[in-house]
Structure 1
Amino acid sequence: MINQPAAASDKLDAAVLKVAGVVVLGAIMSILDVTVVSVAIPTFQSEFDASYARVAWTMTGYTLALATVIPLSGWAADRFGTKRLYMIALALFTIGSGLCATADTITELIGYRVLQGLGGGMLMPLGMTIMTRAAGPHRIGRLMAVLGIPMLLGPIGGPILGGWLIDTASWHWIFLINLPIGAIALVYALLALPKDNPEPSESFDFLGMLMLSPGLALFLYGVSSLPEAGTFADTEVWLPMLIGAALVVAFVAYSFKPRHPLLDLRLFANRNLTIAAVTLFVFIIAFMGAGLLFPSYFLQIRGESTLTAGLLMAPQGIGAMMTMPIAGMLADRVPVGRTVPFALVLIAAGFFTFTQVDPHTSYWLLCGSLFVMGLGMGGTMMPMMTSALRTLHAQDVARGSTLVNILQQIGGSIGAAVMSVILTNELNGSQPIPGVTAPSGEPVTEAGLAIAVQQQPALTQQFPVPPSLIERGLDFAASSFATTFWVAFALVLATFIPAALLPRRRQPSHLADNQQEQQPPTPVAIH
């Protein structure tokens, strides 16, 4: 481990940049994978004849796997060494990608996505640990600027790349493309990463993991089963929800007992961390959940190709790219309580447009709104994470970043599950077309047929129905999207409540007083 003196140069030398190249390559794979898959959701629905809520588990399962391994990565790095574990994570992610491309059923794809997430979840926290040890804690700001590259490029390039691959080849290639990148990253890591010696580690809270991970999975499975079951009284809905909730509650009660719990909830005694974490959690539920619906609207309601849908999503990433570096610089100078609320106003303003969508809403208006939302997102995420960690002592930062990271992944999982359930439930309320059934025997609804025709116009020859029926179905489907966006918009507004409590005065940073401590702080990742 390398500890740099406070007076050392802030510049990143060649040795550090060589290590940063490995980490950035792994981060690009992990972050691109999330955004690439977002445009493939409707394709999966069509290919596997599955509901939106079911297909959304390709994202929910992935983020739950990320949440599972994030706390494991710190313990495993000390036990097995960061270089060895980072290469294992790269291999696991790459193998999972290859298996995803071979999936024949939606269940197989979800399972392989979980395997992929187990590798992807370790890439960012391990990569940041490797970089922090190489450069020293006093250069964290510059390290985060380097790691911000894939975070900025992912939302722009991911949907476009995914759309292009699906249109020109097939959905399989959004996973196959990771194979050569993963192979290059493995060789690069083998040559570039310095050797490290595993050190005796604190015990890992396996009991806590056995309660929290299955608890969350069971609870979200019950929630996602609601549209197909149609009622909370169905055993497939209430039983997993009840067992899952009981496991999560048991974990919360248990987590205060071990010396090194899976999640150190005692850190919530720090007011700044608590307020920032709650604000981020509510925001992630709204933003990440609705984020999956934006490309689906362009694909299913407007009948665009996946490449066009990806290009239409680019303004959001461009907006974030413009404000994230500025927000990063301001986070060290201006209290987040004075900047984050203004960023949230931009997000809310952009979000409101989508609560009014119909089949003919102007693309200029929608793309402009996405750009404004991106501006707000770039000024929200990093400052809140900085606020959560800056008042912790150096020995608590690793546990604090783990806590915030996991809450972020859990929020993303909840958002994806809840928004997909609401949308599926709304679409199921459409009128069935008399005498028309799907190959599975299920009745075809007006909204379902309209969406299918938008994606495959040739279906009008198979189902000779009047254009007025298609238009009515599209209106209903667009209204279903708008209703779901209203829920997300309400959650964005709810974010203003904890955000109002963010510090409005400059807070002293304990990190600056503890730069010489042996345990370097681990920054937070965005997935």
Structure 2
Amino acid sequence: MDISSASSNGQPTARIASARGKWILMTTVLGSSMVLLGSTVTNVALPHIGEDFSADLAVLQWTVNAYMLTLAGLILLGGALGDRFGRRRIFVLGVVWFAVASILCGLAPNTGTLIASRALQGVGGALLTPGSLALIEASFHPDDRPRAVGLWSGFGGIGAALGPFLGGWLVDGPGWRWTFLLNVPLALACIPIALRHVPESVGAARQSTAAGGTARRRHGFDVPGAVLGALTLALATYALTEARNGSLMVVVTAVGSMTAGVAFVLVERCRPDPMMPLSIFASRQFTSVNLITLCVYAGLGGFFFLTALQLQIVVGYSALEAGAAMLPNTVLMLIFSSHSGELARRLGPRLPLTVGPLMSGVGMLMMLRVNSGTSYLVDIFPALLVIGAGMVVMVAPLTVTLLSSVDSENAGLASGINNAAARASGLVAVAALPLLVGMGPDAYRSGAAFDASFSRAMPLCAAILGIGSVLAFTTLRETTEVSHRPHWQAHGWLMEPPLAPRFSHPHHHGNNS
């Protein structure tokens, strides 16, 4: 039986202090933590996966990218399905799907099964991720919603901090397969809580139709667009990952990717209910922010993928030590990102989005000192501090600027597009970087070979961030008129922009002296 969370006037009434509010918050945190662990825990396990399967570098790339591919390609569709068929229903389906796929990953007898199971994990993540924040927005009273989102984000930051520790401990202990099986108890806790305590909700268009309203009914999801978008990413990823082989299949998939991309644009232009309405890009500010996002998350995605390997293969760290070594980035984001969004609100977006990528790029150049004789305190820690400081300066302001560039009614769509763009750019970076720096299929088996490739990759990652900085300086408008728009004051997730805005409520302003 569904539990209603709305009053007679249709407003959600769940409060954080109530038992129901706590159960709803716990459900969203548990579900989102599964997706977060799917991203952060796997990187530290990659060398051990490659060793156990005697696999080449392409397998390690696909272990990361198969997950990111389906997650990035289908995340907008997942949100639309929740609006149409019920957010709790799709959220629970995503949790079940993710858990089953995690079991398949943990039991995978070969690399093909592992990669396919990772792709299935991404599908589950695309179903449950949009629902986590949508359930908060639909269930909590407007007065409690900002605090609920802040708590969700804060717990996400704690999960981001603990993920590499936990992953490293599992890899060094019972083995890498447990980094996937870890999701199962989270799902077993999440599903019954969601079914018992979380109210069902649907999108406004569905509610209007059900009530006999005269508003135009939207189908709510764009399957052709989602398929073509995912196909474009999949074919491009394959072509980049396998390009070193120079086979005919690489050429065919590259051409196929471009063809699918053109078809995607045409479909989105012609459909009455597109997954990604092209009209939203009429905002120059919105377009600029997304181009900057592509550069920022491509550079960061390539950095985190290669650094987790460098610390283990070249420096000689265990999986646990490698995960712990990356902690400064997460801690800085967790502590300071809740305040850094005010930079864009008070100073305008150009300064933080110009300086932040440059700072992180400088930190990546400092990583050139990391080799087999590296001291953590002298060489690694300072570089990570600079990279983390740059992320603090740019990540939250990037989101604030994005959401202030569109009307409030399009904020959810805008943040969903931006989230998909960030994931897709990281996906392409992981596929393309080894090719661009001449990393051979067995490079990760040789410390010297991998170190040489890493030394070529860091300047490239820094250059990509530098392009983002130039774009910010030359294309962004200097404006601070965003107080009436949705904004985020909390950002606890290391490598993911948020999927929904946090709104200011006018009656709160009257309390300010």
TM-score bin, normalised by smaller chain: 0.7 to 0.9
Kept after mapping to 2: 8 A contact 1:222/1:240:
yes
Equivalent of 1:382 in 373, 383, 396: 396
Kept after mapping to 2: 8 A contact 1:393/1:510:
no
Answering whether residue 409 of structure 2 is matched by residue 395 of structure 1, we say yes
Mapped to 2, the partners of 1:341 and 1:142 lie a distance apart of 30
CA change 1:88–1:448 in 2 (3 A) is closer
Kept after mapping to 1: 8 A contact 2:90/2:128:
no
How far off is 1:505 after superposition?
2.2
Equivalent of 1:111 in 88, 110, 116: 116
Answering whether residue 212 of structure 2 is matched by residue 212 of structure 1, we say no
Structure 2 residue runs of 5 or longer lacking an equivalent are 210-216, 488-497, 503-513
How far off is 1:67 after superposition?
1.7
Letter in 1 for 2:291: V
Q: 1:279-337 CA deviation, whole Å, 9 max, x = no partner? A: 11111111012211111001111222111111111122122222211114445444222
Q: 1:181: which partner in 2?
A: 186
Q: 2:154: which partner in 1?
A: 149
Find the residue that maps to 1:355 and give its secondary structure. helix
Q: 1:407-452 CA deviation, whole Å, 9 max, x = no partner? A: 11211211111124345x3346xxxxxxxxxxxxxxxx8x66644x
Answering whether residue 500 of structure 2 is matched by residue 523 of structure 1, we say yes
Correspondence 1:87-98 to 2 at 5 A: 87-98=92-103
Find the residue that maps to 2:439 and give its secondary structure. helix
Equivalent of 1:492 in 436, 460, 465: 465
Kept after mapping to 1: 8 A contact 2:412/2:501:
no
Q: How many residues align?
A: 471
Q: 1:491-511 CA deviation, whole Å, 9 max, x = no partner? A: 011111122133322124564
Kept after mapping to 1: 8 A contact 2:231/2:257:
yes
CA change 1:380–1:210 in 2 (3 A) is same
Q: 1:117-149 CA deviation, whole Å, 9 max, x = no partner? A: 111123221111111122366766534422322
Mapped to 2, the partners of 1:34 and 1:41 lie a distance apart of 12
CA change 1:137–1:110 in 2 (3 A) is farther
How far off is 1:259 after superposition?
1.9
CA change 1:176–1:512 in 2 (3 A) is closer
Q: 1:196-231 CA deviation, whole Å, 9 max, x = no partner? A: 36735622222222322112101110110023x1x3
CA change 1:342–1:17 in 2 (3 A) is farther
Letter in 2 for 1:45: G
Mapped to 2, the partners of 1:363 and 1:124 lie a distance apart of 35
Q: TM-score, normalised by structure 2?
A: 0.85
Kept after mapping to 1: 8 A contact 2:63/2:115:
yes
Equivalent of 2:218 in 188, 202, 224: 202
Answering whether residue 53 of structure 2 is matched by residue 48 of structure 1, we say yes
How far off is 1:341 after superposition?
2.6
Q: 1:53-83 CA deviation, whole Å, 9 max, x = no partner? A: 3321111111111123212123211332111
Answering whether residue 484 of structure 2 is matched by residue 507 of structure 1, we say no
CA change 1:371–1:78 in 2 (3 A) is same
Mapped to 2, the partners of 1:395 and 1:4 lie a distance apart of 23
Structure 1 residue runs of 5 or longer lacking an equivalent are 429-444, 452-473, 514-520
Find the residue that maps to 1:103 and give its secondary structure. coil
Letter in 2 for 1:284: Y
Mapped to 1, the partners of 2:327 and 2:257 lie a distance apart of 37
Mapped to 1, the partners of 2:182 and 2:174 lie a distance apart of 11
**Structure 1 vs Structure 2 CA RMSD:** 2.8
Kept after mapping to 1: 8 A contact 2:77/2:223:
no
Letter in 2 for 1:129: A
Kept after mapping to 2: 8 A contact 1:36/1:161:
yes
More deviation in 280-289 or 116-125? 116-125
Mapped to 2, the partners of 1:39 and 1:522 lie a distance apart of 26
Kept after mapping to 2: 8 A contact 1:4/1:136:
no
Letter in 2 for 1:367: F
Letter in 2 for 1:214: L
Correspondence 1:350-429 to 2 at 5 A: 350-364=363-377, 365-422=379-436, 425-427=438-440
Mapped to 1, the partners of 2:371 and 2:69 lie a distance apart of 33
Correspondence 1:217-366 to 2 at 5 A: 217-227=234-244, 229=245, 231=246, 234-364=247-377, 365-366=379-380
Letter in 2 for 1:503: R
Q: 2:455: which partner in 1?
A: 482
Find the residue that maps to 2:326 and give its secondary structure. helix
Answering whether residue 128 of structure 2 is matched by residue 123 of structure 1, we say yes
CA change 1:274–1:510 in 2 (3 A) is farther
More deviation in 246-255 or 299-308? 246-255
How far off is 1:33 after superposition?
1.9
CA change 1:138–1:74 in 2 (3 A) is farther
Mapped to 2, the partners of 1:39 and 1:449 lie a distance apart of 15
Q: 2:511: which partner in 1?
A: none
Find the residue that maps to 2:122 and give its secondary structure. helix
Correspondence 1:76-91 to 2 at 5 A: 76-91=81-96
